[in-house]
Structure 1
């Protein structure tokens, strides 16, 4: 009897060494499923064509590890956020840096491109969400509401809303045109790692470290259903392009879910470990995962995967009346997104609902953009993927043909691979999990014979649109524990870079302290300035600011140029120290400077007076230079704005 031909459902495509150090982030192009961008601890962003061994392009400019990357829908722009809070946007077709965006105070955890307008949303560990206009290099809105790091951002298909997921266990929905929060979705008991809009209907899916996936109705603002029993934290989910099901990239498996009612259609064993992103093209699902400096890609043949619940129902497991059975899954149950034919209009400014920022381009930004590069590593692959901008059309990278499955040489190996691993023996408390056995490498776990899980009615109560109407979140005393490997990964992230920074800073401070022990304050400050490290200057000024008697006129001539740099810094602590030092100088020395400059010239030779007059002229010139900066920043809101307004009043006598 002839041995039947075994056709693979899932297979590993390739493994590459993506960076010289650890990979910290990656993303797939969702339009083609063939373009891969990786960010690393080496501060680079590298571009790859799936199933090609060589890097297409390497993007440099970041000075700290790249924490988040995102491609826009046409796959012609890429945005990358770093550990320091800076964001850079590159034009891939022109192979150049487009924008540098500064404003966040901590790691950039999430990014997303607006589907129609030239806007980028960023979420950070500083708990803020910012909407950037990349044409004008400015922050349009800052959305505040989360209390912990914002892990995922997604624009709605019609471009009107923004969904955010955070470590504070919540999902929030923001109205872009009004600039305010529409609704908050509580319910998860662990950090929420990912959110995804349904491609057509008003439906949102969220995945959490509490091992659940929740579906939210965006008309009624309430939970639709909850998938429980995931084998680990949920990190990546993706709706099928026609919206018939949701794919979840689990530990070493792909799971296919429906939500009305909640059920698992299929489970496919894939040895991809912790998959980081998913994309679909040509009825193939592409999954990518990373470990240390390596990135692996995998393929699942979706034609061999059960994606709908059209299988006959088991009357034993589903005893509901016919009227309660779910309707035809192809018929939408909710409102459909209305996609505009033109680009979205610029969001309105609503001051009472969000803190609006506009940051003018600075010389620091220009320098960052000059130092950023887009280096083409493989011209042949680059020209195949990115045609010049003036071309009539652009060919996406190899979307015409699916990836071929590798030949199956060993039938016994295939049979062994078809067996479910011990980790897959998970009991799903979901109804209607009754599908026939699929191909050899697909394992569909049958439903337990226990009673189907029922969502309590209280979960389906509308949450409302106002903060006062939110239902209080149920506090679970026992929070979800991190897996040891995840905890160690978070601890290690950025450790080497921080060690280098702190070692260098400690060495510089030791050299300044050696001068400080001589008792010469002016020489100590001069040595700190000569090191050309603002962090050392800040440390020294924080000490000097505490004792006003240490300040002398000649010290002001050295410190004022450094204060000008501090006031333009992106770091809040630097700006605060600069404001404190400038205020002290203005209160203590400005009357003296103006009096000496206004005094009539002396008769005869007075060397000490001439020296004092020279110092006063130098300080006056430096203060006039700083005065323009202080005036421009006095219109800012918040604590810094009030500090700059106070400084502006103190400097009024300069005019």
Structure 2
């Protein structure tokens, strides 16, 4: 009688070259477990089908490395955040850019799609969390409370809460409709890298660099249990779809945990290094990891993994004590999420028809969208995954049979798919996907649908405009009115006007603060206060005043202003660039000879404190100018007025070399 073939519990599926430069972020589609998105230092977002060697689509438009990517639940939209703070949303079915969102002042570290409403949440190194309305390209809420970079964001399954994890060692829970923090969960002693909601119960898991996983009760707002002794920083966790256990992607292993009481059900050795994301499909867990330009995928057969019980199978001799399970593990111990029975349609595209819209301040963002492209690299895979069958439904990523495992007695490791070359800049014709119009879906509060929406103030100048509870619930179809009545049109116009008034009021308040400091102290202190406010527009206003009187400039003022000038020269606003160039030219003309002479002078004999302080300031300015010189050189090749200004600055900075 033939001996049955015993297969492996975990194996490597394939390794691909995902980008021409280093991979900086990646995410798996959680619905299918088969769609992979990668972001790279080459400023691209590439789409892949797991276990296939060729890139499906390459998304361009970002001008700095892509730091974070996220797919929505139906896997038809993708959002990517860059090192510069910009966010772009692409429609994968239509193969084109959908939205550009500007407003963060530093790297985008985390993103998440709302499960029902048409919103995206973003967390940044600037410590802010922003909630964006995709339809209107606007920031509807800004959540402040973290003191360091926000590393992970997750919406609750019912869409009413947002959980955030940050480098400040805390986890926070935000009420979306109230626009405020519900609770803060302290306890971690290191940066918190990941948070994940239980799929059914009011329970939240958080993983940290302190090598612990904590479980939090969202009714009593207290810790339930804590898993300690992880082999390294916790970067990826995932609840089983039925909520029976939690998977933790550890260094070269998968660990399976229970939390009431805390216990380890199983440990599976997987040679995946630092796994970056996990997903489940067909009773298989898919894990992906990246190193330099390569991305590797791995499979764990969950039918061979212990997910409940009291005895842990631990091949790495994990001897932590095991506790008894609860009396009835199938019964939930806390409240269950109440999910709506329907889901929202995709975000409707905003039409730009009227003359007022074409002249609106958002034209710069629209230009960014025109310059962004979705290049189909593999038309066959693209049509299979993204092309809709009709106007209502789409073909989901293919849910094929589970990935076959290599025989356990096979000496060779799993055969990897052929490594492809990095995504090439080859464009295939985009098929016409919009065969039939989609049924109109509007907000649950009765509101007429305009033929052409009024202009929306760009998010860079936008303050939160608020939400209703109905915004976070699935839309309800209602009869569509023919046209806007006057009152409705005026209310929409006032909303943009009120937003601008809020922005200008905040800016005026900041300027009053700086002015108060200036009247009671010196110019250096007032510039320091402007920088501390962390609003580049205030710095620009102050420099425009200082630039008019060259005698106000001192060497110690240069040390504070030069880092801000570097930011201004990289701004997309022409007035900011012009102010930065003017300030830099004044500094070079007044202080560069002094700086170079001080650095070239021989050391002084004896103790001269004032000279040592001046020498220290010169060294600091020299270092900052060297940092700016590369930027000036790269922009000196531009055409037009800015190009000639940068060429002049480049000549003035020649003595730095």
TM bucket normalised to smaller: 0.5 to 0.7
3-state DSSP of counterpart to 2:493: helix
3-state DSSP of counterpart to 1:490: helix
Q: Relative to structure 1, is the Cα distance of residues 601 and 128 closer, same or farther in structure 2, using a 3 angstrom cutoff? A: closer
Q: Relative to structure 1, is the Cα distance of residues 68 and 593 closer, same or farther in structure 2, using a 3 angstrom cutoff? A: closer
The one-character-per-residue Cα deviations of 1:243-292 (angstroms, maximum 9, x if unpaired) are 00000000000000000000000000000000000000100000000000
The one-character-per-residue Cα deviations of 1:529-578 (angstroms, maximum 9, x if unpaired) are 99999999989967961625899999999999999998995689949958
The one-character-per-residue Cα deviations of 1:370-402 (angstroms, maximum 9, x if unpaired) are 100001000000001012374442222221311
Q: Output the TM-score relative to the length of structure 2.
A: 0.63
Greater CA drift, 245-254 or 461-470: 461-470
Contact 2:90–2:97 under 8 Å retained in 1:
yes
- Give distance in 1, aligned partners of 2:525 and 2:459: 73
Could you say which structure has the larger radius of gyration?
1
Query: Which residue number corresponds to residue 468 of structure 1?
Result: 470
Q: Relative to structure 1, is the Cα distance of residues 152 and 522 closer, same or farther in structure 2, using a 3 angstrom cutoff? A: closer
Greater CA drift, 538-547 or 121-130: 538-547
Query: Which residue number corresponds to residue 546 of structure 2?
Result: 544
Contact 2:531–2:539 under 8 Å retained in 1:
yes
Q: Does 1:514 align with 2:516?
A: yes
- Give distance in 2, aligned partners of 1:619 and 1:259: 54
- Tell me how far 1:586 sits from its aligned partner: 25
- Give distance in 2, aligned partners of 1:140 and 1:100: 15
Contact 2:13–2:299 under 8 Å retained in 1:
yes
- Tell me how far 1:340 sits from its aligned partner: 1.7
Q: Relative to structure 1, is the Cα distance of residues 628 and 408 closer, same or farther in structure 2, using a 3 angstrom cutoff? A: closer
Contact 1:141–1:357 under 8 Å retained in 2:
no
Counterparts of residues 162-311 of structure 1 (less than 5 Å): 162-309=162-309
Contact 1:268–1:441 under 8 Å retained in 2:
no
- Tell me how far 1:329 sits from its aligned partner: 1.5
The one-character-per-residue Cα deviations of 1:119-175 (angstroms, maximum 9, x if unpaired) are 000000000000000000000000000000000000000000000000000000000
Contact 1:314–1:432 under 8 Å retained in 2:
no
- Tell me how far 1:7 sits from its aligned partner: 1.3
3-state DSSP of counterpart to 2:598: helix
- Tell me how far 1:493 sits from its aligned partner: 40
Greater CA drift, 457-466 or 485-494: 485-494
Aligned length: 655
Contact 1:563–1:582 under 8 Å retained in 2:
yes
Greater CA drift, 349-358 or 588-597: 588-597
Query: Which residue number corresponds to residue 122 of structure 2?
Result: 122
- Give distance in 1, aligned partners of 2:259 and 2:455: 13
Q: Relative to structure 1, is the Cα distance of residues 305 and 596 closer, same or farther in structure 2, using a 3 angstrom cutoff? A: closer
- Give distance in 1, aligned partners of 2:244 and 2:14: 29
Q: Relative to structure 1, is the Cα distance of residues 637 and 559 closer, same or farther in structure 2, using a 3 angstrom cutoff? A: same
Q: Relative to structure 1, is the Cα distance of residues 34 and 630 closer, same or farther in structure 2, using a 3 angstrom cutoff? A: closer
Greater CA drift, 343-352 or 183-192: 343-352
Greater CA drift, 27-36 or 551-560: 551-560
Q: Relative to structure 1, is the Cα distance of residues 550 and 81 closer, same or farther in structure 2, using a 3 angstrom cutoff? A: same
Contact 1:138–1:357 under 8 Å retained in 2:
no
Contact 2:27–2:36 under 8 Å retained in 1:
yes
- Tell me how far 1:408 sits from its aligned partner: 3.9
Q: Relative to structure 1, is the Cα distance of residues 252 and 511 closer, same or farther in structure 2, using a 3 angstrom cutoff? A: same
The one-character-per-residue Cα deviations of 1:201-242 (angstroms, maximum 9, x if unpaired) are 000000000000000000000000000010000000000000
Q: Does 1:61 align with 2:57?
A: no
- Tell me how far 1:341 sits from its aligned partner: 3.0
Q: Relative to structure 1, is the Cα distance of residues 351 and 479 closer, same or farther in structure 2, using a 3 angstrom cutoff? A: closer
- Give distance in 1, aligned partners of 2:101 and 2:211: 35
Contact 2:19–2:423 under 8 Å retained in 1:
no
- Give distance in 2, aligned partners of 1:8 and 1:485: 67
Greater CA drift, 43-52 or 572-581: 572-581
3-state DSSP of counterpart to 2:514: helix
Q: Relative to structure 1, is the Cα distance of residues 60 and 153 closer, same or farther in structure 2, using a 3 angstrom cutoff? A: same
- Tell me how far 1:616 sits from its aligned partner: 40
Contact 2:60–2:372 under 8 Å retained in 1:
yes
Contact 1:231–1:426 under 8 Å retained in 2:
no
- Give distance in 2, aligned partners of 1:583 and 1:275: 48
3-state DSSP of counterpart to 2:343: coil
CA RMSD of aligned residues (A): 22.3
Greater CA drift, 225-234 or 480-489: 480-489
Contact 1:317–1:449 under 8 Å retained in 2:
no
Q: Relative to structure 1, is the Cα distance of residues 421 and 195 closer, same or farther in structure 2, using a 3 angstrom cutoff? A: farther
- Tell me how far 1:364 sits from its aligned partner: 1.4
Contact 1:171–1:186 under 8 Å retained in 2:
yes
- Give distance in 2, aligned partners of 1:491 and 1:648: 46
The one-character-per-residue Cα deviations of 1:451-496 (angstroms, maximum 9, x if unpaired) are 9999999999999999999999999999999999999999999999
Q: Relative to structure 1, is the Cα distance of residues 281 and 572 closer, same or farther in structure 2, using a 3 angstrom cutoff? A: farther
Q: Output the TM-score relative to the length of structure 1.
A: 0.63
Contact 2:202–2:334 under 8 Å retained in 1:
yes
Contact 1:156–1:163 under 8 Å retained in 2:
yes
3-state DSSP of counterpart to 1:537: helix
Greater CA drift, 382-391 or 92-101: 382-391
- Tell me how far 1:25 sits from its aligned partner: 0.1
Contact 1:79–1:90 under 8 Å retained in 2:
yes
Q: Which runs of no fewer than 5 residues in structure 1 stay unpaired? A: none
Q: Relative to structure 1, is the Cα distance of residues 644 and 275 closer, same or farther in structure 2, using a 3 angstrom cutoff? A: closer
Contact 1:144–1:354 under 8 Å retained in 2:
no
Q: Relative to structure 1, is the Cα distance of residues 184 and 458 closer, same or farther in structure 2, using a 3 angstrom cutoff? A: farther
Contact 1:153–1:164 under 8 Å retained in 2:
yes
The one-character-per-residue Cα deviations of 1:339-363 (angstroms, maximum 9, x if unpaired) are 1235689999999999999998522
Q: Relative to structure 1, is the Cα distance of residues 107 and 628 closer, same or farther in structure 2, using a 3 angstrom cutoff? A: closer
Q: Relative to structure 1, is the Cα distance of residues 382 and 231 closer, same or farther in structure 2, using a 3 angstrom cutoff? A: same
- Tell me how far 1:37 sits from its aligned partner: 0.1
